[in-house]
């Protein structure tokens, strides 16, 4: 039996960065559902939070899980569920693209706090500014993702 501990910080936005998740109460319901759905699929979400137009998840990947499959399962099911529950006025969709960055054991608490404090963080910075910082800070490269995950 393998022993694996690989943390990934995922970030993804709503389609066209629309602020569908426009209240803290709605966000709380969505994050809770994402966590519960992931747990049912054996995806270990260490922390989940976000703001009106994006989501952050700190995930500990299982031995047989891939970044692509985890994103497909979380994003696809959650957008379906949000629409089925009628939680937004318009049809809800997640953007196809996402960020996925590995997190070292020594940085786990810092990343948890960053995700936890999204409400405060976005009083001072837009998601667009955060997005640009992620691209620059992590020198991210875009990869083609053949799955449909909205």
Q: Tens of pLDDT along 12-48?
A: 999 999 999 999 999 999 999 999 999 999 999 999 9
Domain 6-137 falls under CATH 3.30.70.1290:
yes
pTM value is 0.85
The candidate with the shortest Cα–Cα distance to 9, out of 46, 43, 34, is 46
Q: State residue 149's pLDDT score.
A: 46
Domain boundaries, the chain: 6-137
pLDDT interval class at 132 (50, 70, 90): confident
When pLDDT is averaged across residues 54-58 and rounded to a whole number, the result is 96
pLDDT of residue 144: 62
Half-sphere exposure of 132 (CA within 13 A, CB side): 4
Distance CA 135, CA 142 (A): 10
Residues 94 and 96: their CA atoms lie apart, in Å, by 6
């Amino acid at each position: 039996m393998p022993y694996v501990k690989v943390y990934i910080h995922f970030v993804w936005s709503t389609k066209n960065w629309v602020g569908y998740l426009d209240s803290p109460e709605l966000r709380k319901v969505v994050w809770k559902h994402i966590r519960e759905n992931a747990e049912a699929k054996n995806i270990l979400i260490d922390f989940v939070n976000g703001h009106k137009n994006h989501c952050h998840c700190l995930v500990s990947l299982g031995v047989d899980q891939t970044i692509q499959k985890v994103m497909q399962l979380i994003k696809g099911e959650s957008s379906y569920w949000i629409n089925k529950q009628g939680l937004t006025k318009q049809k809800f969709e997640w953007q196809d693209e996402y960020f996925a960055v590995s997190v070292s054991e020594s940085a786990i608490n810092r990343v948890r706090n960053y995700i936890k404090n999204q409400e405060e963080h976005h009083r001072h910075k837009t998601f667009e500014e955060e997005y640009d910082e992620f691209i620059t800070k992590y020198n991210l490269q875009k990869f083609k993702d053949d799955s449909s995950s909205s």
